[in-house]
């Protein structure tokens, strides 16, 4: 069912027109610093203008770092089929994105893989080519 909602949302998006994201991607994140982490979701905040996903990631030395990933606006996520409980705390995820210019465990989320293999897109700031 959730997959159906997701597919329907994607179909609607494909039929729609370009939009402008809240902020320009390139000023804040570095497209040359892609990142992929595996970790455990600690919380998700459905806040405007961007939702944020927090993930505990175990480093090679055993320490745990809490990463935060910027997602799209709540309305964008809802249109993509997300709900506030789509990803619950404790869920193991693989998430890809691009790191913030200032560094640190902060990134703009691109896509998120769930344990059952589903991949969720983050609905975030759009590349300009489509504006």
Partner 1 sequence: MRLSNNAAVLMAMAAIVLMASAASAQSVNRLSDSQPDMQGMYTRTGVKALEAEPPFNPIDPGEKNPFSVSNREDGLGPYPRIFGQGGNVLRGGQQRAQRRVGIIFPENKKLPWRPEEDVRRKQFLLEMNPAKDLRHIELNSRCALPGLFEGEDGNNPYTFLQPPGKVVIVYDYNHTSRVIDLNRREHLGKQVRLFMGDSIGHWEGNTLVVDTTNFNGRVAYSREIPYLSEDLHTIERFTVADGNTIDYEVTIDDPKLFTGPWKVAGYFSRAAKDVESIEFACAEGSQTLQNIFGAPPAR
* Separation of CA 13 from chain center: 17
82 touches partner 1 by CB under 8 A: no
- Tell me how far, at minimum, the Cβ of 122 lies from partner 1, in Å: 7
Write down the least CB distance from residue 107 to partner 1, Å: 9
From 20-28, 57-65, 86-94, span contacting partner 1 (CB under 8 A) = 20-28
Question: Counting Cβ atoms within 10 Å, is residue 10 exposed (0-12), middle (13-18) or buried (19+)?
Answer: middle
Q: Which of 6, 39, 108, 112 binds partner 1 (CB under 8 A)?
A: 108
Q: Pick the piece of the chain touching partner 1 (CB under 8 A) from 14-22, 53-61, 85-93.
A: 14-22
User: Hey, how many other C-beta atoms are within 10 angstroms of the C-beta on 72?
Assistant: 24
DSSP 8-state secondary structure symbol assigned to residue 130:
G
Interface region with partner 1, contact rule CB under 8 A, candidates 25-33, 55-63, 83-91 = 25-33
DSSP secondary structure of 38-81: EEEEEEEE--SS--EEEEEEE-TTS-EEEEEEE---HHHHHHTT
**Tokens 């606006």 map to which residue?**
73
Task: Give min distance, CB of 46 to partner 1, in A.
Answer: 8
What residues make contact with partner 1 under the rule CB under 8 A?
Answer: 10, 12-14, 16-29, 31, 34, 45, 47-52, 70, 72-76, 79, 97-98, 100-104, 106, 108, 110-111, 121-131
């Amino acid at each position: 069912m959730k997959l159906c909602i997701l597919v329907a949302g994607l179909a609607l998006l494909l039929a729609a027109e370009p939009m402008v994201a809240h902020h320009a991607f390139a000023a804040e994140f570095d497209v040359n610093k892609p990142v992929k982490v595996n970790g455990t979701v600690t919380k998700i905040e459905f806040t405007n203008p961007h939702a944020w996903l927090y993930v505990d990631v175990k480093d090679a030395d055993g320490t745990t770092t809490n990463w935060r990933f910027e997602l799209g606006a709540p309305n964008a996520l809802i249109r993509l089929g997300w709900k506030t409980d789509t990803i619950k705390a404790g869920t193991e995820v693989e998430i890809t994105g691009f790191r913030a210019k200032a560094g640190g465990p902060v990134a703009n989320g691109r896509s998120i893989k769930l344990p059952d293999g589903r991949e969720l897109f983050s609905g975030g700031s759009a590349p300009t080519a489509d504006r």
